[in-house]
Structure 1
Amino acid sequence: MVAAKLSEYNTYRKITKWLLLLLGLFPLENASLFYRFLPYIHLFLNLGTAFGMLGFVRAHITNILVVSKRLGLMVSFLTGSLKIVCMIIYHEDAMKLRSLDKHFNILINNPQFTNMAFDGVTAFRRLSWAVSLLVLLSGTVNVITPIILIIYQQSHHFQPVKYILPYLSIYPWNVEPNGYLYKFHFIFETVATYSLVAITSSIEPLFTLYVIQMIGQLREMSYVMEHLNESNDPESSVRDCINQYTNLVECRNMVQKIFGPIILWQIITNAVILCLGIFQLSQASLTIHIVLVPS
């Protein structure tokens, strides 16, 4: 049982680390110039795609139903951009937070605290992976839909063939159908899609990992304080707990600094997206009612 939980945690941690490395957001000492530049590439991809969708929104601003569908996706890419910006700005804090990981590794290798530290990890892991899977599926659907549409048109000899981008983006410059610029934008938005998937599948789990690791330390301190009478040096144990708690408060402040703006932004935008979703459902219900109940 313990071995299974340890394996789950290590897998969860490794996948999160690999994705962060792919984004250039995992805090490394003496990182190469390319690695330090990597987050800006992903930032450009997300902002560029959001900019294209903004053009679509501006062009169809009078059609609320169409605009509401694009706004949700545009907000997703802006959220991804915000996450990258926060990780870039607070890179030094993220570097310091690696101490949580080191202490937690020591904790889980101590048989006395292993079960205690892993309590609740499975629920966090499943929730994070469910979100990642949904984002991956959603992004893949957006990417393959234009491809399927183009293949369908060509197989049925439709003329002219309508070439659309994954997010129906409209740019200030002319994008000729099936031209080099169209292909460039298609690849650009495809890469941006999976960049967003990587961002969502790494930064949210990173926050979860920090929380799990801090909870583990709190449980450790609680256990030590409850069993002071079993300690050979109670004063030293209390002193260690105080120092550990002080460090934990500093870590909490750093986590709040990094993820606070992201959480606040998501609270606001999720409310907006939820309203847009309800509006779309209401319009769909209205359409069905009109079709089924003719006047």
Structure 2
Amino acid sequence: MTELSEYEIYRETIKRLLVIVGLWPGEAPSFTCRFFICVQLIVLISIILGIVCFLVSNITNVAAVTVASSALTGLLSTFLKFIWMLINRGNVLKLHEMLDPHFMKLLNHRNRPTNLLTSVFFFRRMTWLFAMFMCMSIAIYASSPLVFMLYQYRNHVRPVEYMYMHPAIYPWKVSTASGIGYKLLFICELTPHFSLACVTIGVNALFTLHVFQ
């Protein structure tokens, strides 16, 4: 694969990640995308508030506070990153319009510097490595309650205790008699993580792309 192909794949990957969450500079999100983002933000804020309630209720439990604080820090940092991108969308657009067309023009120049794309392999591999760690984190969060319930089923524990994906306290209770409510809650807790992954990977990669340009 040539260095130019590496760069094109690198840029296209970043664009796809940010288009999903409506943050790609210069491309306004569709109504469906904006609606989806609003729903995701509402669910995410609910999860954050649930974790805060858990922290307050278990403030004397060091182990519980440590686990909850870790989850809260990750969700809050990504949430603030998303809000920052929305607030500073105009500045990001100016930076993108200044760098991206100029760099593309330079790439198409017949006498472009031979070392122009030397570092693209490193930047692309770092982005893929970061994406892999993000996917692993989401998989761990999603599989933990499933493994816990599977353990109960295998050991004939009744009634089965339904474990939340996050250490959180919500204003409603999930019935142990029926798994329908839990399945809905599990989907609601899992869905925002895909958007969070796109935001975290995409925003970080976008600025590494600008640094590279």
Unaligned runs of 5+ in 1: 214-295
Matched, 1:203 2:194: no
The answer on whether the counterparts of 2:43 and 2:192 sit within 8 Å (CA) in structure 1 is: yes
Higher mean Cα deviation, 189-198 or 28-37? 28-37
- Distance in structure 1 (CA, Å) of the matches to 2:40 and 2:111: 43
User: Match for 1:201: what amino acid?
Assistant: I
The answer on whether the counterparts of 2:141 and 2:166 sit within 8 Å (CA) in structure 1 is: yes
The within-5 A match list for 1:233-248 is: none
Q: Give the secondary-structure state (helix, strand or coil) at the position aligned to 1:163.
A: coil
Residue in 2 aligned with 1:254? none
The answer on whether the counterparts of 2:78 and 2:196 sit within 8 Å (CA) in structure 1 is: yes
The within-5 A match list for 1:1-295 is: 4-29=2-27, 31-99=29-97, 100-177=99-176, 178-213=178-213
User: Match for 1:170: what amino acid?
Assistant: I
User: Match for 2:131: what amino acid?
Assistant: S
TM-aligned CA deviation for residue 108 of structure 1:
1.6
The answer on whether the counterparts of 1:43 and 1:84 sit within 8 Å (CA) in structure 2 is: no
Residue in 2 aligned with 1:272? none
TM-aligned CA deviation for residue 114 of structure 1:
4.8
- Distance in structure 1 (CA, Å) of the matches to 2:129 and 2:210: 19
**Greater C-alpha radius of gyration:** 1
User: Match for 1:41: what amino acid?
Assistant: V
Question: Which fold has the larger relative contact order, with Cα–Cα distance below 8 Å and residues 6 or more apart in sequence?
Answer: 2
- Distance in structure 2 (CA, Å) of the matches to 1:82 and 1:54: 16
The answer on whether the counterparts of 1:128 and 1:205 sit within 8 Å (CA) in structure 2 is: yes
- Distance in structure 2 (CA, Å) of the matches to 1:42 and 1:199: 12
User: Match for 2:184: what amino acid?
Assistant: F
- Distance in structure 2 (CA, Å) of the matches to 1:121 and 1:79: 27
User: Match for 2:23: what amino acid?
Assistant: L
- Distance in structure 2 (CA, Å) of the matches to 1:31 and 1:139: 25
The answer on whether the counterparts of 1:24 and 1:37 sit within 8 Å (CA) in structure 2 is: no
Aligned pairs, how many? 211
- Distance in structure 2 (CA, Å) of the matches to 1:161 and 1:29: 47
- Distance in structure 2 (CA, Å) of the matches to 1:149 and 1:142: 12
CA, structure 1 residues 41+50, in 2 after alignment: closer, same or farther (shift >3 Å)?
Answer: same
The answer on whether the counterparts of 2:22 and 2:28 sit within 8 Å (CA) in structure 1 is: no
TM-aligned CA deviation for residue 8 of structure 1:
1.4
Unaligned runs of 5+ in 2: none
Q: Give the secondary-structure state (helix, strand or coil) at the position aligned to 2:39.
A: helix
Instruction: Report the TM-score when normalising by structure 2.
Output: 0.88
- Distance in structure 2 (CA, Å) of the matches to 1:41 and 1:101: 31
The answer on whether the counterparts of 1:57 and 1:67 sit within 8 Å (CA) in structure 2 is: yes
Q: Give the secondary-structure state (helix, strand or coil) at the position aligned to 1:97.
A: helix
- Percent same amino acid at aligned positions? 33
User: Match for 1:148: what amino acid?
Assistant: V
TM-aligned CA deviation for residue 23 of structure 1:
0.7
CA, structure 1 residues 211+37, in 2 after alignment: closer, same or farther (shift >3 Å)?
Answer: farther
CA, structure 1 residues 79+120, in 2 after alignment: closer, same or farther (shift >3 Å)?
Answer: same
User: Match for 1:206: what amino acid?
Assistant: L
Q: Give the secondary-structure state (helix, strand or coil) at the position aligned to 1:117.
A: coil
CA, structure 1 residues 59+210, in 2 after alignment: closer, same or farther (shift >3 Å)?
Answer: same
TM-aligned CA deviation for residue 207 of structure 1:
0.9
- Distance in structure 2 (CA, Å) of the matches to 1:48 and 1:122: 40
